[in-house]
């Protein structure tokens, strides 16, 4: 047992001596077998020379192919290849020696039939020795360390490679109980001796067997099916892990360290989006593209997506210098220096933005800069007005003035029937872009709306993850609150697709899937961390925050949708906007933003957006005044 713990390896010369011992046994046995255990005197006289010749040639080929260099207990296919080629080479040398001797003395040193028997014995016995040591070592490890019972979902190539990676691992002792697969043709068969069971029997198998870990080794698994598997495992207190895509494997093999816990994002993500690559490339290739808010979650995601389509320059604008610097480093590393250009600036500063348009003359603008946190904007309406409304107006106006081809604005589902200042500010920004489209000289103004983005800065999932790491509690505002979710790459891809298909004036909404109950999300994240709800991590309800909705919407009451060629993108049919009326209101907001009270500013916003009804907010009294 101590030897196992110390993990000592036998010196190479010992392995070589053992191999030569096998070679000696093989040649002698070959003679006895060939002559039915009665070697004639004529052959017996040559036997010492034959054995010496065989051992020398074997030693030479073993040295040449380094058959003794591998760690015996971890022998694999490459080791057996070396043994085979070494055995073949040495046998061929002996056969060649036979031919030479025959021409000299008209007699063979070693009969060819013996060479064949000797080759088969040598190859078989050397391989058998290694397999025996490997099996013996594995059995010793199994009996000396505690086993971790594991089930692998997926009996394909990825599942098999996962099993082999676990078998090779020295630090842990994994016992692969079964493979699970949904393919009927694989059921009840065995993969390297391990039974394959039907996916429909997983629940029953977990209930009857002690399983600590379930490893999902299928990349093409649909989100719904994956959620079912994870839910089944979590119900039986089984830890769930994920095998990375084949593209992330190292030298075609999976490393155990790459097998990670399933993350909540893995369950909420959807099928990869099929983009119209040609259309997007035609719109972006060789163009100067300005991305505002480029250091943020969506902005940086857009930078990564746009870079794939070979623009002339990506102008990355943000006021957050450190994260913007990191985005620039990433772009330079992945797409080459020169493609990205960092611009520090605030969209509220008209002169600064004008200088950027004057110097770089962008041809496409993606506008992602905005304040997005509902409670913070509820306490500071003037900031939402100056950034989300007036800052957007600066970009909208300058895009028209400098002949931008397309202006794509990132909006939010909170702009629909807004109940808070942030949502209302984004709705007003939508209205201004829509109105400007009707009078613009060249620019096409397009708006995209979607819900919460998984993993974005300040979103609920990273907050929950930090709370779990600290031991809880997880704070949820309300037991019934729901939200739509979308991954950052998915959101950015849909923005690109919608932006490029737009002809101007459209508000595109995305298929966000089914809304997710936040409390259910919290419970699942706790379980995925291997903990139990309310025993290890408590969930506390803090109450709805100012301006917060229970349910988000993608369409206002009077809005309908029109389908597009993309199944996940629709056009919202919204009421037309009058540019003179909304421009007048924006000028009023601008003139009063420095001197008026928050209530006075919000009152102007409510006049612009009649459906803006405040909830859980001090501004709800303004709605009562309207009544």
Active site residues: 414
State both tokens at 591: 């003139």
Cα separation of the two ends of the chain: 83
Q: What does the alpha-carbon distance between residue 540 and residue 54 come to, in Å, rounded to a whole number?
A: 79
Q: What does the alpha-carbon distance between residue 599 and residue 396 come to, in Å, rounded to a whole number?
A: 27
Say if CB 577 and CB 431 are below 8 A apart. yes
Give long-range contacts, CB 8 A cutoff, 24+ apart: 524-532. Answer: 524/230, 524/234, 524/264, 524/267, 525/264, 525/461, 525/464, 525/465, 525/468, 525/474, 526/468, 526/474, 527/234, 528/230, 528/234, 528/240, 528/261, 528/262, 528/263, 528/264, 529/261, 529/468, 530/239, 531/468
Torsions phi, psi for 107 (to 5 deg) = -150, 145
Q: What is the DSSP string of 351-370?
A: HHHHHHHHHH--SEEEE---
Strand partners, 444: 406
State both tokens at 107: 């007699």
Q: What does the alpha-carbon distance between residue 449 and residue 555 come to, in Å, rounded to a whole number?
A: 10
Alpha carbon of 93 to those of 57, 68, 101: distances in Å?
Answer: 7, 20, 12
- Find tokens 């957006």 and name the residue: 609
Q: What does the alpha-carbon distance between residue 248 and residue 64 come to, in Å, rounded to a whole number?
A: 34
Taking phi first (over 0 means left), then psi (-120 to 50 degrees means alpha), and beta for anything else, what does residue 37 get?
left
> Using H for helix, E for strand and C for coil, what is the string for 293-343?
CCCCHHHHHHHHHHHCCCCCEEEEEECCHHHHHHHHHHHHHHHCCCCEEEE
Alpha carbon of 311 to those of 306, 327, 331: distances in Å?
Answer: 7, 16, 12
Q: What does the alpha-carbon distance between residue 410 and residue 450 come to, in Å, rounded to a whole number?
A: 8
Which residues, including other chains, have CB under 8 Å from residue 127's CB and lie 6 or more apart? 80, 83
Alpha carbon of 195 to those of 56, 180, 241, 436: distances in Å?
Answer: 46, 9, 20, 65
Which residues, including other chains, have CB under 8 Å from residue 362's CB and lie 6 or more apart? 288, 289, 290, 315, 356, 402, 404
Torsions phi, psi for 134 (to 5 deg) = -60, -45
Q: Other CB atoms closer than 10 Å to residue 580's CB: what's the count?
A: 9
């Amino acid at each position: 047992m101590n030897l196992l713990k110390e993990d000592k390896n036998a010196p190479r010369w010992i392995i070589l001596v053992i191999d030569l011992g096998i070679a000696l046994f093989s040649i002698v046995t070959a003679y006895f077998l060939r002559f039915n255990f009665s070697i004639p005197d004529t052959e017996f006289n040559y036997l010492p020379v034959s054995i010496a010749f065989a051992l020398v040639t074997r030693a030479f080929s073993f040295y040449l192919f380094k058959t003794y260099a591998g760690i015996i207990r971890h022998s694999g296919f490459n080791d057996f290849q070396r043994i085979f080629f070494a055995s073949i080479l040495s046998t061929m040398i002996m056969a060649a020696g036979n031919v030479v001797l025959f021409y000299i003395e008209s007699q063979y040193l070693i009969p060819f039939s013996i060479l064949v028997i000797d080759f088969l014995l040598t190859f078989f016995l050397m391989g058998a020795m290694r397999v025996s040591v490997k099996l013996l070592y594995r059995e010793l490890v199994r009996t000396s360390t505690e086993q971790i019972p594991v089930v692998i979902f997926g009996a394909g190539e990825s599942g098999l490679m996962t099993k082999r990676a676990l078998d090779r691992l020295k630090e842990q002792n994994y016992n692969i109980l079964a493979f699970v697969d949904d393919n009927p043709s694989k059921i009840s068969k065995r993969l390297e001796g391990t039974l394959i069971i039907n996916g429909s029997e997983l629940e029953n198998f977990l209930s009857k067997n002690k399983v600590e870990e379930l490893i999902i080794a299928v990349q093409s698994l649909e989100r719904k099916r994956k959620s079912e598997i994870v839910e089944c495992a979590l119900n039986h207190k089984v830890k769930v892990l994920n095998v990375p895509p084949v593209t992330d494997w190292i030298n075609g093999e999976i490393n155990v360290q790459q097998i990670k816990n399933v993350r909540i994002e893995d369950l909420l993500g959807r099928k990869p989006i099929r983009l119209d690559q040609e259309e997007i490339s035609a719109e972006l290739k060789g163009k100067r593209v300005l991305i505002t808010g480029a250091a943020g979650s969506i902005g940086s995601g857009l930078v990564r997506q746009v870079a794939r389509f070979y623009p002339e320059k990506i102008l990355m604008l943000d006021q957050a210098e450190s994260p913007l610097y990191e985005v620039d480093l990433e772009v330079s590393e992945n797409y080459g220096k020169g493609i990205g250009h960092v611009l520090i600036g605030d969209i509220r500063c008209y002169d600064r933005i004008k200088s950027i348009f004057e110097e770089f003359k962008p041809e496409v603008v993606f506008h992602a800069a905005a304040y997005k946190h509902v409670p913070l904007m509820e306490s500071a309406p003037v900031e939402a007005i100056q950034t989300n409304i007036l800052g957007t107006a600066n970009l909208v106006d300058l895009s028209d003035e400098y002949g931008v081809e397309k202006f794509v604005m990132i909006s939010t589902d909170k702009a629909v029937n807004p109940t808070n200042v942030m949502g209302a500010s984004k709705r007003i920004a939508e209205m201004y872009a829509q109105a400007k489209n009707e009078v613009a000289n060249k620019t096409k103004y397009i708006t995209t709306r979607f819900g919460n983005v998984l993993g974005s800065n300040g979103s609920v999932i990273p907050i929950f993850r930090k709370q779990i790491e600290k031991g809880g509690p997880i704070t949820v505002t309300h037991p019934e609150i729901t939200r739509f979710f979308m991954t950052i790459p998915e959101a950015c891809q849909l923005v690109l697709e919608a932006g490029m298909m737009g002809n101007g004036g459209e508000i595109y909404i995305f298929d966000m899937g089914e809304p997710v109950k936040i409390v259910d999300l919290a419970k699942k994240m706790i379980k995925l961390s291997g903990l139990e709800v309310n025993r290890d991590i408590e969930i506390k309800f803090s109450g709805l925050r100012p301006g917060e909705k229970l349910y988000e919407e993608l369409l206002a009451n009077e809005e309908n949708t029109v389908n597009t060629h993309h199944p996940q993108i629709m056009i919202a049919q919204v009421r037309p906007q009058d540019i003179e009326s909304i421009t007048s209101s924006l000028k009023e907001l601008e003139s009063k933003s420095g001197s008026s009270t928050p209530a006075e500013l919000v009152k102007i916003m409510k006049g612009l957006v009649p459906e803006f009804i405040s909830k859980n907010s001090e501004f709800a009294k303004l709605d009562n005044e309207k009544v």
